[in-house]
Amino acid sequence: MSHHNNSTPGQRFRDAVASEQPLQVVGAINANHALLAKRAGFKAIYLSGGGVAAGSLGVPDLGITGLDDVLTDVRRITDVCDLPLLVDVDTGFGSSAFNVARTVKSMIKFGAAAIHIEDQVGAKRCGHRPNKEIVSQQEMVDRIKAAVDARTDDSFVIMARTDALAVEGLESALERAAACIEAGADMVFPEAITELEMYKLFASRVKAPILANITEFGATPLFTTEQLKSADVSIVLYPLSAFRAMNKAAENVYTAIRRDGTQQNVIDTMQTRMELYDRIDYHTFEQKLDALFAAKK
């Protein structure tokens, strides 16, 4: 693992946004996938709240997850991968400004580069599901102010996510985004956008980087990076793409082993032992052991 002692995770995230238009950010469901994403050439990665809920806890994304659940996954990822990590903190894990502050301070301490915090009520839903409920604009602005005020590192990125489009319409979403930037947010994440041109409106209204959440099977079409660049999008997020593929692959393997009494028919869908060792740098660890114990002889 390479260490950047001269820059913070937040600064590395800002640099990545500046260096790639738009910046592709992929979801990594665990530390192993963080390493795979880095190997594939991505400059930043993401930890999804829905991913922590479904992947680590096996529960729906309905506000069941707590701060410590997310921090556990954050720490495991940042321990082995130096790519800047954007983390979904839902509504901030608690109803008071102090909850939001605790969340921000903890994320910085555990090595995250950025967070996005949303304007849904505490009993939140997936952003691409019906019947979402949002808090008032004032309450959302207060969340942002609390987050910004709690920063122990000015480079740490605070992104405002608004779910207002599906609930109150475009004008309300634009207004909220602008109010959040005014309150100190660095970037904006308008959720469940349905048309490409809408991103352009957000970009011109808030004069800050806009994130497009290109999640599969949701409300947003699977726009390409070229299309999104033309709509002034700065960051393209693929929150759960690898997770969905991994789940389908696991199901297929379990089904086959149970059905066939052997894994022979699905062996070609598996990562090999040598591939795994290569991806997690097994041999470097082994050589370190050999060197340590050789010195004692």
pLDDT in tens, 66-93: 999 999 999 999 999 999 999 999 999 9
Q: How far apart are CA 294 and CA 104, in angstroms?
A: 45
Q: Which two tokens stand for residue 55?
A: 């992947």
**What is the predicted pLDDT for the residue at 6?**
67
244 is in an annotated binding site: yes
Q: Which H or E run includes 159?
A: strand 157-162
Binding residue per annotation — 94?
A: no
Answer yes or no: is pLDDT of 1 > 50. Answer: no
Q: Find out whether 111 is annotated in a ligand binding site.
A: no
**Residue 2: per-residue pLDDT:** 47
Answer yes or no: is pLDDT of 3 > 80.
no
Give the model confidence (pLDDT) of 95-130 as tens digits. Answer: 899 999 999 999 999 999 999 999 999 888 888 888
Task: Report the predicted TM-score, pTM, of the whole model to 2 decimal places.
Answer: 0.95
Confidence of residue 5 (pLDDT cuts 50, 70, 90): low
User: Phi and psi at residue 251, in whole multiples of 5°?
Assistant: -60, -45
Annotation-wise, does 19 bind a ligand? no
The answer to the question of whether 176 is labelled as a binding residue is no
For the chain, what percent of residues have pLDDT higher than 70? 97
Convert the pLDDT of each residue in 138-147 to its tens digit: 999 999 999 9
Residue 247: what are its φ and ψ, rounded to 5°? Answer: -65, -45
The annotation status of 181 as a binding-site residue, yes or no, is no
Alpha helices in the chain (DSSP H): 9-19, 31-39, 49-51, 67-80, 97-109, 137-150, 164-168, 170-182, 196-206, 225-230, 241-260, 273-279, 282-296
Residue for token pair 């480079």: 155
| Residue 215 is labelled as binding a ligand | yes
Does 281 carry a binding-site annotation? no
- Which residues carry out catalysis? 46, 61, 88, 90, 116, 118, 126, 161, 191, 213
pLDDT: which is higher, 123 or 249: 249
